[in-house]
Amino acid sequence: MANGGNRPIAPVRKLIGAGLGTVATFIMLFGLGMTSWSIVALGVALLVLAVALATVRGGGRTWVVGLGHVHSASEPPTQYAFGRCELQIVIDAPGLPPRSKKIIEPRVPVAKWPSLGQTLPVRVALDDQRHVRILWDEVPTHAENAATIADLPPEYADPEPVEEVLIAQEAPPWADRAPEDDFRDDFPPAPDPLLDDLAGRPHDREPVVVHQRPGGPVVLEGQLVEPPAAGPLPRRATPAQRTPAEERFDRVDPIDVPLDEPADEAPPTPEELDEAIFGPAGAEPAEVPSPISGVGITLLVTDLDRSLDFYRELGFTEFDRGAGNAVLTSGATRLVLRQVTGAAPISRRLVHVNLEVDDIQAAYERLRGSGVRFTYAPRVVNRGTKLEVWAAAFKDPDGHGVALTQWRTLADA
């Protein structure tokens, strides 16, 4: 059910109204002193607003009464009649969806302290479900609940009468049997339909004496109900005759052949083990193919014929030629010359071609005699921990830096 009532004016609204009224009075007096009716009108409007805030009550809030199912509750105090209670309830009210809410009640009577599963009457605001109030005046005390249970009929006094009815069942057949009946021989056993077709129990049958003979069993006393079926034992089949050719290849069973005795052999020597593992001594290991089979370089030249003559003097051979380009080779090295027009001068530091030779001094003397002008004579240009590089530098007709190089080990040096 829903009810309504006028809400009281909040103290905050009263405070705001008082402050606004003070400001409005100051503005009105200021406007009168300045003889400015517009300022006076503004002060009057503010004063009316302040009075409305401080005196006009809001519309009534609509409440609806429902139930709150207790899911959890804090422990009650042991030395006081009232205490602070923290509740977690599920609200079930008409026209509102079920909602779980935590409520903190600062003053709850210990005699009405809620328990888990208890249902409490609550009042919920329709416009804002966060406003929930528990109607403690309508909550019965624990003593009143106990008296209500005591007034119930005897069949409903048990707190769980339904479970007893559900688990009730008929007594088993052995329920009326006394414990001493287990040790009595004259106690009649339960009838067994499987034994009804038998002539009698085993102790009522006539004993049978049977004598076993090679020709078959002979009954000396009594009578067999089902005499065993006597018959000669089956004989093994005679193997068929085989041809001489089959007997010649099947004279000895391979399973019966004795194993050969191991021959007395000397253990392998360390040299034989090394040869078996690493191969014959002195054999060179197979070369692992390299991912790079050679190095080639392309030079941009301004006069293809002039550059061809120059590099032929160095020892290159023309391998192929096209329109404005030529391919020169020397061993695994390939040099591509491509003719361009209007090329800018080339800095020797940007392009430098190293031509490896076996004897740098002899190559230096040969090229110098053919007219090549060297920048410097053969000398060491780089030295590492194992090798050092000798070089003699010069330029080609287009200004490319070229050098004769030879790698030498430090021991040879």
Range of the domain at 354: 296-409
pLDDT at 173 over 60: yes
Residue at 72 is within a domain? yes
The values of phi and psi at residue 344, to 5°, are -75, 160
pLDDT at 1 over 50: no
Give the pLDDT of residue 247: 60
Residue 34 shares a structural domain with residue 96: no
Residue at 235 is within a domain? no
Residue 390 shares a structural domain with residue 330: yes
Beta-ladder partners of 103: 87
What DSSP string runs through 360-392?
HHHHHHHHHHTT--BSS-SEEEEE-SSEEEEEE
Specify the CATH number for the domain of residue 374. 3.10.180.10
Query: Tens of pLDDT along 68-109?
Result: 999 889 999 888 889 999 989 988 888 888 888 898 999 899
Average pLDDT over the chain, rounded to an integer? 76
Tell me what the mean pLDDT of segment 3-32 comes to: 78
To the question of pTM greater than 0.85 for the whole model, the response is no
Tell me what the mean pLDDT of segment 39-59 comes to: 82
Residue at 77 is within a domain? yes
Residue at 247 is within a domain? no
Give the pLDDT of residue 341: 77
Residue at 238 is within a domain? no
Tell me what the mean pLDDT of segment 243-270 comes to: 61
Domain boundary (86, 118, 145) is at: 145
324 confidence band (pLDDT: 50, 70, 90):
confident
Residue 37 shares a structural domain with residue 103: no
Give the pLDDT of residue 385: 86
The count of structural domains within the chain is 3
Residue at 359 is within a domain? yes
Residue 405 shares a structural domain with residue 301: yes
pLDDT at 23 over 80: yes
Of 295 and 363, the one with more pLDDT: 363
Domain boundary (95, 125, 145) is at: 145
Residue at 288 is within a domain? no
Residue 87 shares a structural domain with residue 137: yes
Residue 308 shares a structural domain with residue 372: yes
Give the pLDDT of residue 2: 42
Residue 6 shares a structural domain with residue 24: yes
- CB neighbours of residue 162 within 10 Å: 9
Give the pLDDT of residue 371: 87
Of 337 and 266, the one with more pLDDT: 337
pLDDT at 5 over 50: no
Residue 339 shares a structural domain with residue 364: yes
Give the pLDDT of residue 162: 45
Residue at 252 is within a domain? no
Residue 16 shares a structural domain with residue 76: no
Spatial CA neighbour of 205 closest among 222, 228, 188: 222
With helix as H, strand as E and coil as C, how does 80-108 read? CCEEEEEEEEEEECCCCCCEEEEEEEEEE
Distance, in Å, from the CA atom of 170 to the CA atom of 152, rounded to the nearest integer, reads: 28
